[in-house]
Amino acid sequence: MKTYESWLTKLRKRAQPSGALSQWAERLSNKQGGDAKMWREHLREILEEDEKASLDLILDLDLITAPARKEESEDKQIPLW
């Protein structure tokens, strides 16, 4: 079972690339409303453990920050006819 602390550790790692927080803040403002500046500040407070993320925000951030899945170039299934 995932704990909040392990989730936060992964989130910090995903936030390391330059511009990641700004991108997340923009997507959150589009999805949940508010402006990107407010979301950047809120995300920083969560990463610094000044504030705890809500369950809705955790789910949204998981969707936003999940690594992209690589699509297979060819269907590996053998055609039946």
Mean pLDDT of 51-60: 93
Tell me whether residue 13 is in a domain.
no
Tell me whether residue 55 is in a domain.
yes
Q: What percent of the chain has pLDDT over 70?
A: 83
Domain holding 38, by residue range, is 19-65
pTM: predicted TM-score of the whole model, two decimal places: 0.77
Distances (CA, A) of 60 to 1, 27, 31, 48: 19, 9, 9, 19
Angle at 15 between CA 13 and CA 66, to 5 degrees: 80
Tell me whether residue 27 is in a domain.
yes
Domain total of the chain: 1
Residue 79, pLDDT above cutoff 90: no
Task: For residue 51, report the phi and psi dihedrals to the nearest 5 degrees.
Answer: -145, 155
